[in-house]
A and B are shown apart, each in its own frame.
Chain A
């Protein structure tokens, strides 16, 4: 039981390049989330999904897109990376008993640098 996994662990991009971050969970969780973590800012929600085929915007969605084609996977895309998107990205999942009341299980994170 791997829990929540993220690939890649590290990535360096040039401004304007695109990439996709993959999150996978094997706990059969309904809800999945993408956060970014910046010094002094805590974790900020980018997008989330309450089930396969559904996505919704979080606090800081601009510049990102997501897809949840399979229940166990949640993809985060950057179409044209900017230096302001340099951050550590965390994926999380939860059972789906209640938005905002579930325990969230986090992946190990992806450290992204945009030059």
Chain B
């Protein structure tokens, strides 16, 4: 079965609202990566988290790795139309690398 699940699958927000996607793994992860895929495009690497409880920020994006290293979140503050796309987490279990199911974000101007 799917090793890494993301919720929600879809999210529609008004421009300026915040957005959060959650990533949950059935097994402990060595690290977690986040990728963004624009509509019709290909995944592009955003960031990697390695340490338990780690928090990293990129401008309006905040990434968090859970204490148990089995979950992660991406929070976008004050969404803009340029944030539209699908956000994927991806984690390494030690012997296999799994992408999450993705969260598709639509931003309504």
A interface residues with partner B (beta carbon < 8 Å): 35, 40-45, 58-59, 90, 92, 99-101, 103-109
B interface residues with partner A (beta carbon < 8 Å): 2, 4, 6, 9, 30-31, 33, 35, 41-45, 48, 50, 88, 90, 92-94, 96-102
Residue pairs across A and B with CB atoms within 8 Å: the count is 57
Q: Are B30 and A101 in contact, with the CB atoms below 8 A? A: yes
Nearest CB in chain B to that of A105: its residue: B45
Given the interface pairs A42-B88, A42-B99, A42-B100, the reply to whether A101 lies near B45 with Cβ below 8 Å is no
Docked Cα-Cα span, A99 to B48, in Å, equals 14
Ordered by A's residue number, 29 sampled pairs between the chains whose C-beta atoms are within 8 Å are: A35-B99, A40-B101, A41-B101, A42-B6, A42-B99, A42-B100, A42-B101, A44-B99, A45-B97, A58-B96, A92-B43, A100-B31, A100-B92, A100-B94, A101-B30, A101-B31, A101-B48, A101-B50, A103-B33, A103-B45, A103-B48, A104-B35, A104-B43, A104-B45, A105-B45, A106-B44, A108-B41, A108-B42, A109-B42
